[in-house]
Structure 1
């Protein structure tokens, strides 16, 4: 196709730039087009001076700007370090994610950056994933909605984003060579859905400007040259209009990548891959029109980036630090609080134990490292709020979690002189980072030893955790309070102090399941994949889906988080008892669900209201329940509110591998609402209908039971059973004959009928002629398939 034949651009802003891009590309040589498809070094694209096309600058994110002048991690400009993705996701607050995005966009403008490389929304398949601290959640709905808000915030400031890593990028071990082997349904329901929410379920103008392809292969095909993924799904099915950039060094076959829909190779490879593109065009292996189209799609975004850039922009570093503190506090999760040890009462003497109190771990390691404008230490922030005379400190262990008898003894002595003990623990950089996966989910042994010693010596021990993903807690029953502080950004120390002292009522909820042990996780022992293959044998069942389906009790469930007040869920209602999901296809027909809750405690606070959908009797294997909506609400003491949700077709759908599309099975569904995936006190039931339901086409390999549920299919089904000599299973019951049977004979008949029906139902149609002794011919089977095949 020529550049003039591209599909109409739906983004009204990008459409004008696409016309300009087409005109510019028409003036370019093949060599110039090939030049544009590779970066000029590590952090910018090439320009074409004779056409007035300037380079575009990109920078690492996603929780803070990392603008550097070379390939290393050092020398980046000072920028606000916000809480990493798990902490932001734990707020369950899309408005707050949008604020963070807007602040990041402002800082990018001030640094002359056109595109920020983030957010990352890959699923947390296993807590061992080394890059989990960059990813939001194990649930695609939560991750997708948080990402969409974040993208909206950044791009609202005239700076683009790069949604990553597309796709199924869940391990660091051999990440550039391993194939993520996953079935089609799991791919769409778990690993692509978050991307779809942030791309296809937003207005065209809200789409991320770029999508970053991942390092790994997907079912044996390199992600950077996966045509079905980059063109078939991303552009054709989802209507994506931005460009695709490779992860840094993620290109294998450059020409195959261009044909598949991968626009920009980063970092630049000089003439190496550029010449391959040129040679492929001259040899006829790469259509000139394809090259021109791919180049124009990239150039359109470059033009838009320059048009929206605001030279001379500045930002308020203090205001952004304050925002980081607010976000950090709202994402902190109060996991346990027996005896109301927290918040700390006025006048409490506090022992602050642990090296992380003085040298906190506040961000992840790897390409997302930020040079912060300042760092707040938890110890100093507690002193500022409680007074120096109320706070005593002991190191307890070093920054790697190593301790000694002397350090433990000193910590115990300090603890025994105080009213409450705060132990700061977590994972050092050597335990979780980009580039390698965690080997286990344990804290450093010295930290566990320290916590156990303090718990044995003092009744009021509070463990404060700093980590990027779930950790095991062998001492969970020995301490009364546990606070998950995540990697809380540069202001994380102040955020923790705010929550511990009650200046902020905790409202964070876990965006991932905390398992009791590694052996309780879905991907164990198949994680990480080795020898070039990562087999996703657990299918749909990761995180809470796995724990719910297997009836496992996690350490702390998905969505869990306590408060200093109490919320009672009191009522639920739907606006209809039946819901035709296909009415939603016409732009209406949404099911309204309203849930009422009340703050029955003595403090103002925020609660995350979570809505899950459960199919009562699924015809395909499904999770016990799935998150479909959520909202964060603020309530004063004694106040109540009603939260309104609207559900549509997709909220009841599963991915049908026969249709290669989403489908809804009519039936009874429960709508469950509450404060976590395991605390859902409200339930409403709705009968779901699908008036225009698509079904898999019938073939000779289909089963007898596949006629059921199709218009007119009951008659054909009855015909086939009669041909098999089982008419008694579908013909009117002879009540008089049944009355003559003894109870034993009646029970035996019913058992036999069930067995016969099961045998017939699951029989492939091609077997009918032989099994019916010719009473149902091959010609009749072919005729039925033609009639009911669609």
Structure 2
């Protein structure tokens, strides 16, 4: 540590003001500049959290895609999170990435949060434990983490401008708590401050929360980077504790910061503090000369596909299993649902990566079950709009100058072009680029009217089979997110009758222009497509007949990237399209109906009592179909437990995510998630911590010694299994200002049929503390507490009392 600091100080002493301020500003979308005079290489960052995209946001640079963060939290296994981190560090090193922009540890304040799938849980303790495992694993692999989004970035509506009004106690006990736990237990090398404002101060300028709390009270010694385009004011950001303003080259730092020093608006010593932290990060990841990296002996290789499959299966939550419908009994299976064939394995937005392969439920079940026992029917398609052109397309990108001369060509594994910064085809520069033509063929897999469209803003020309269907501008929506070109909805521009198996030529030409609202160089647009849409009643009728003819019907229902994605919040919790009608119709035809729910966050399940089994798979990552086959056939037990309460929107206690007059008051104070459900006396569909396995457990005894809880239990079922033992702390007199109970610890056991097992859980001191707003400090609340142990918040099997 001392040697690292000496190297940092030596490097800092060699830099002039301009070099220092240049280092604090991104040189492009993903990196900081190299400074050869001090032996500093360019430091590269990349989005996560379920994969490492690298500096190229394209399908021709594939990445391992793990299940969604909600799935990782559903494992209730910090060690598995650590192993996921090790894999992601391996991926980062493979792609030349030094810092992963993850994990997201904001809380599930409301089920309507659009980025709910990208965060872990509604509970701060569970979030902190899983986040600690993740950060530990990534950094053990020699790669930095950037814990985000600090703080209270719990919804997407007006995310750039919203002023979240959060009480001091709720801020400390809920929203800051995961960050504090991760800083204390995993020592992350980075924190990302959010777009939003908290109690009147934008987070990139929040001196109190960054300098006084994060760095002062918690002792955080890493760097603080802005969310992309979040930094607004040069002096305010530096004095608020922001070290790096991203992306570049146009930021509030760089030349603007150097001028602020020369004008006397900030001191150079304040710049030096930020530069120290960046150089410390560079030393830790091994890009600063004369400084030994934090990790010199890298961990052994991780099998990405195997871990993705294991993690998925361990995350699946069996919500219901009547008449032991699962594991599947021998016989025929009717697999139904659009998402069973065209799997949705990850959420939308900046969390998107492009895996080299995706195993769909149809792929997985067909491979696992005897030949000829699986049939397939679409049933109902939740996708009501066009998606990025993919299956059946063979495309390439041709770049031309203003005279029509070809500058270069690029690969296009699908219809999405997203070239960030200098990530351009060979021979192409932003100065010479005039148009990009995405051209090639589509070989339809179905006959009928195919729809084509455009995603992005600018001037476009769309031609299909020799006919030009659109030639003109496509403008952004009023008040749209500046990332509309990335996350916005495609616009339909053509409808063409095609024949299955007969290729047709397709061309989409984009006139390159840099949007004023995005201060970095990017080429971003997409060709969109939708296959022929058959009548919904006809599709459901086909599915019903398939179900009636099978021994078991497995229906896969799903959300879409217009339901769960970055950039917007959800309007409701219903499944899109006619999927609810599909489930009811199939269940009426076959009493042995299993429903697989493919969503990253809660959806309403109005038919849940009408089906034999409900299995939640979250966004299961690239190996999701293989993991699903493992669980359905019984090769693996579903290991997940709910990290968040599932219920109807009408009953959900906290639903407001949209600000009024720029402000969003957190009027619920401490009561979010299960705390709020219990306070309001409302019964959810499935409680926090719920999840069934393929065996049964008897909780036989609990012993408490101080804050150490020892639980003995026995596997009373007929097969081996794993049980997540949950410990809740309930004050005997909670009062109106404390929840009825809260998660204080958890642990897991494994045992064979009839075997006993024991788990020891340590309750942290913080579980007994509250934040005293008057004294601005933590206060240990003495008294009598009930230790409640069980399988979920609502299934508490055994209790003991302790006095502290």
**What TM bracket, shorter-length normalisation?**
0.7 to 0.9
Matches within 5 A, 1:24-35: 24-35=11-22
CA RMSD of aligned residues (A): 1.8
Contact 1:68–1:76 under 8 Å retained in 2? no
Q: Which has the higher contact order (CA 8 A, sep 6+)?
A: 2
- Describe the SS at the equivalent of 1:423: strand
Which one of 84, 93, 96 corresponds to residue 68 of structure 2? 84
Matches within 5 A, 1:234-249: 234-249=214-229
Distance in 1 (CA, whole Å) between partners of 2:544 and 2:675 is 41
Shift in Å at residue 18 of structure 1?
A: 2.5
1:497 partnered with 2:481: no
CA-to-partner distance for each residue in 1:485-515, whole Å, 9 max, x for gaps?
Answer: 1000000111111111111111210000001
Which one of 211, 215, 240 corresponds to residue 195 of structure 2? 215
- 1:362 equivalent in structure 2: 345
Shift in Å at residue 445 of structure 1?
A: 3.5
Which one of 549, 553, 560 corresponds to residue 683 of structure 2? 553
- 2:715 equivalent in structure 1: 599
- 1:460 equivalent in structure 2: 592
Alignment gaps of 5+ in structure 1: 1-11, 577-590, 689-790
Q: TM-score, normalised by structure 1?
A: 0.80
- 1:336 equivalent in structure 2: 320
- Describe the SS at the equivalent of 1:607: strand
Distance in 1 (CA, whole Å) between partners of 2:671 and 2:251 is 45
Shift in Å at residue 312 of structure 1?
A: 14
- Describe the SS at the equivalent of 1:289: helix
- 2:47 equivalent in structure 1: 60
Distance in 2 (CA, whole Å) between partners of 1:170 and 1:464 is 27
Deviates more, 1:283-292 or 1:113-122: 283-292
- 1:582 equivalent in structure 2: none
| Aligned length, in residue pairs | 650
1:519 partnered with 2:502: no
Decide which structure has greater strand share.
Answer: 2
- Describe the SS at the equivalent of 1:641: strand
CA-to-partner distance for each residue in 1:648-704, whole Å, 9 max, x for gaps?
Answer: 42121111111212112221111111110111111111122xxxxxxxxxxxxxxxx
Tell which structure's C-alpha radius of gyration is larger.
1
Contact 1:66–1:76 under 8 Å retained in 2? no
Matches within 5 A, 1:697-776: none
Shift in Å at residue 247 of structure 1?
A: 0.4
| CA pair 667-527 structure 1, distance change in 2 beyond 3 A | same
Distance in 1 (CA, whole Å) between partners of 2:383 and 2:119 is 24
Contact 2:744–2:764 under 8 Å retained in 1? no
- Describe the SS at the equivalent of 2:543: helix
Shift in Å at residue 97 of structure 1?
A: 0.7
- 1:506 equivalent in structure 2: 638
Which one of 377, 380, 384 corresponds to residue 360 of structure 2? 377
Matches within 5 A, 1:390-401: 390-400=373-383
Q: TM-score, normalised by structure 2?
A: 0.79
Distance in 1 (CA, whole Å) between partners of 2:294 and 2:585 is 56
- 1:443 equivalent in structure 2: 575
Distance in 1 (CA, whole Å) between partners of 2:249 and 2:650 is 43
| CA pair 442-303 structure 1, distance change in 2 beyond 3 A | same
- 1:225 equivalent in structure 2: 205
- 2:761 equivalent in structure 1: 645
Shift in Å at residue 75 of structure 1?
A: 4.9
Shift in Å at residue 79 of structure 1?
A: 1.3
Distance in 2 (CA, whole Å) between partners of 1:639 and 1:311 is 43
- 1:278 equivalent in structure 2: 258
Contact 1:67–1:76 under 8 Å retained in 2? no
Contact 1:92–1:608 under 8 Å retained in 2? yes
Distance in 2 (CA, whole Å) between partners of 1:286 and 1:90 is 46
Decide which structure has greater helix share.
Answer: 1
1:291 partnered with 2:271: yes
Which one of 121, 131, 141 corresponds to residue 115 of structure 2? 131
1:610 partnered with 2:610: no
- Describe the SS at the equivalent of 2:578: helix
1:427 partnered with 2:427: no
- 2:137 equivalent in structure 1: 153
Deviates more, 1:53-62 or 1:300-309: 300-309
Which one of 684, 687, 695 corresponds to residue 565 of structure 1? 695
Deviates more, 1:616-625 or 1:257-266: 616-625
- 1:303 equivalent in structure 2: 283
Contact 2:140–2:299 under 8 Å retained in 1? no
Distance in 2 (CA, whole Å) between partners of 1:312 and 1:450 is 54
1:389 partnered with 2:372: yes
